[in-house]
């Protein structure tokens, strides 16, 4: 990362490769990156050449200085020069269930992973926002052969919605809360952590026992988090795309100087949650996405286990359809277990 005060400089010299560049989310990300002078070289991949040409025209005609734009419909070509890779490639079939989306999007994720593996220049980081984002991230990781730190999927919106819900239901400011995490799967089975939260230093149980909030408040908060994505679709008439573009861009940008600290989904393998890709407390820094140790109550572990089932089900469907190899065949570095990340504690305040 270069000196950010030099207006002519860029954040990185590496190319920024965007898959799904012409979609609403992808093109939003592209303009954010141009406006912020992320990279002097954009490589935009899509399935429809005229739409890529139209997007390129808009970029060139916005008057950004010194940004070269390459467009391609060829996956290998897009990956050849290496760099930062933003993955928002998605088949627009109108299908809705996670399983249908998986079967639509896993083949192109596998193709992209294989293109990353054979690219002569290294891919530095992959940020995935294509749904189902946990398994699409896993598919990119397995086929690319990149390190687990280098490939991560967005789930931060599930946590920012939790923060917003606490703020609005309880009237609590952001700086008065900590340990607010939504973990596990980025879908309706997401695990809204209850016992990690501290509000002005108090657990949710303690807040309830002291009359500062009610059990109904907790259900209302949880409901707003789990249904937050549906609410945006209902209100705007389409899925949220601007907030994930912004958060996804922060994940691309993240460095030792600007650590991204909302939970992200990445590879995980422990005796509790073997061979999966899910959200736990993480940070993203210059070296990539790293788990943070966290202790959980039995109640929160149970919520994580339910959420893990959703990921395991989709993972096994991907294996069954040949989009992923059997877990026993995954690389040696993916077989090491990291049980020490998940510490157990008893819920103290029930």
- In the annotated binding site for NAD(+), the residues are 20-26, 105, 129-131
Rounded Cα–Cα distance for residues 183 and 219 (Å): 17
Known catalytic membership, residue 275: no
Taking the least distance from each CB to a copy of itself, the nearer of 17 and 232 is 232
The residue whose two tokens read 């984002």 is 133
Rounded Cα–Cα distance for residues 343 and 195 (Å): 13
Taking the least distance from each CB to a copy of itself, the nearer of 241 and 267 is 241
Which has the closest alpha carbon to 212: 162, 158, 176? 176
Annotated binding site: 20-26, 105, 129-131
Taking the least distance from each CB to a copy of itself, the nearer of 132 and 228 is 228
Shortest Å distance, C-beta 29 to a copy of itself: 11
Q: Which of 41, 45, 186, 291 is catalytic?
A: 186
Shortest Å distance, C-beta 147 to a copy of itself: 27
Cβ neighbours of residue 252 closer than 8 Å, sequence gap 6 or more: 16, 33, 38, 84, 86, 125, 127
Taking the least distance from each CB to a copy of itself, the nearer of 232 and 276 is 232
C-alpha 143: how far from its chain's center?
Answer: 18
Shortest Å distance, C-beta 227 to a copy of itself: 11
Shortest Å distance, C-beta 54 to a copy of itself: 3
Shortest Å distance, C-beta 1 to a copy of itself: 15
Q: Is the dihedral of CA 242, 244, 250, 252 positive or negative?
A: negative
Tokens read off for 22? 């012409």
Q: Which residues bind a copy of itself (CB under 8 A)?
A: 5, 22, 27-28, 31-32, 34-36, 50-51, 53-55, 57-65, 156-157, 160-161, 163-164, 174, 228, 231-232, 234-237, 240, 242-243, 245-247, 249, 262
Rounded Cα–Cα distance for residues 9 and 209 (Å): 55
Which has the closest alpha carbon to 132: 326, 284, 318, 282? 318
CA distances from 228 to 11, 60, 220 (A): 33, 36, 12
Q: Cis ω on the peptide bond leading into residue 39 (within 30° of 0)? A: no
Taking the least distance from each CB to a copy of itself, the nearer of 157 and 278 is 157
Residue 108 DSSP SS3: helix
Tell me the catalytic residues. 186
């Amino acid at each position: 990362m270069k000196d950010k005060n030099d207006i002519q400089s860029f954040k990185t010299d590496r190319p920024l490769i965007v898959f799904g560049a012409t979609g609403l989310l992808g093109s939003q990300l592209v303009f954010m990156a141009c406006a912020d002078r992320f990279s002097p070289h954009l490589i935009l991949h899509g399935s429809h050449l005229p739409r890529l040409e139209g997007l390129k025209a808009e970029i060139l005609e916005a008057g950004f200085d010194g940004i070269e734009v390459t467009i391609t419909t060829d996956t290998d070509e897009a990956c050849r020069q290496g760099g930062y890779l933003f993955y928002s490639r998605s088949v627009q079939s109108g299908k809705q269930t996670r399983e249908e989306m998986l079967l639509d999007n896993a083949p192109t994720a596998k193709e992209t992973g294989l293109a990353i593996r054979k690219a002569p220049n290294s891919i530095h980081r992959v940020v995935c926002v294509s749904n189902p984002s946990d398994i699409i991230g896993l598919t990119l990781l397995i086929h690319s052969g990149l390190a687990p730190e280098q490939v991560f999927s967005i789930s931060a919106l599930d946590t920012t919605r939790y923060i917003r819900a606490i703020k609005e239901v309880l009237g609590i400011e952001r700086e008065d809360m900590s340990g607010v995490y939504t973990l596990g799967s980025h879908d309706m089975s997401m695990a809204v952590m209850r016992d990690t939260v501290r509000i002005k230093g108090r657990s949710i149980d303690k807040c309830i026992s002291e009359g500062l909030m009610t059990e109904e408040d907790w259900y209302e908060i949880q409901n707003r988090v789990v249904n937050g994505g549906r609410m945006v679709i209902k209100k705007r008439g389409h899925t949220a795309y601007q907030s994930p573009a912004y958060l996804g861009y922060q994940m691309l940008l993240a460095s030792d100087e600007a650590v991204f600290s909302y939970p992200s989904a990445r590879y995980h393998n422990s005796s509790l949650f073997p061979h999966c890709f899910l959200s736990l407390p993480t940070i993203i820094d210059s070296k990539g996405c790293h788990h943070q140790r966290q202790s959980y109550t039995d109640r929160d572990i149970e919520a994580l286990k339910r959420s893990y089932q959703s990921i395991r089900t989709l993972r096994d469907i991907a294996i069954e359809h040949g989009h992923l190899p059997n877990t026993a065949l995954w690389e040696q570095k993916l077989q090491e277990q990291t049980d020490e990340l998940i510490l157990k504690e008893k819920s103290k305040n029930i």
